[in-house]
Structure 1
Amino acid sequence: MAALMLSGQRDPLLVPEVSQHEVQVRQGFTGTELLLFGAVLDPAGRTGQGYDIVVVLKGPSEPVRLREKERFAGVWVNAQSTDFRSVPSFFAVAASRPVSEIVDEKTAAIYEFGTGYIQLSPSGSINPAEQLRFSEGLVDLKQRQRLYKQNMNGVQISQNVLYQARISLPSNVTTGTYTAETFAVTDGRVIASAEATVEVRKVGFERFVEVSANRWGLAYGLIAVFLSVGMGWGAGRLFARL
Structure 2
Amino acid sequence: MAAFARRKEQRLSRPDPSRKRALDARAAELVRLLNARERFCTASSCDGRVIVTDTDGTGIQKKNCTWLLVTHDPCVKDDVMTALEKATGDVVFKFEPFVLHVLCRELQDAQLLAVRSTHCLEVPLSHKGTLMVSEEYIEFLVHVANQKMEENIRRIDRFHKGLELALEAAVPADTLFPKGPEKSHSVYMHRRKRRTAQEQADPSRELEPQDDAESSLALFAEIML
Q: Same fold (TM over 0.5)?
A: no
Which structure has more strand as a fraction of its residues?
1
TM-score normalised by L of structure 2: 0.24
What's the TM-score, normalizing by structure 1? Answer: 0.23
Structure with larger Rg: 1
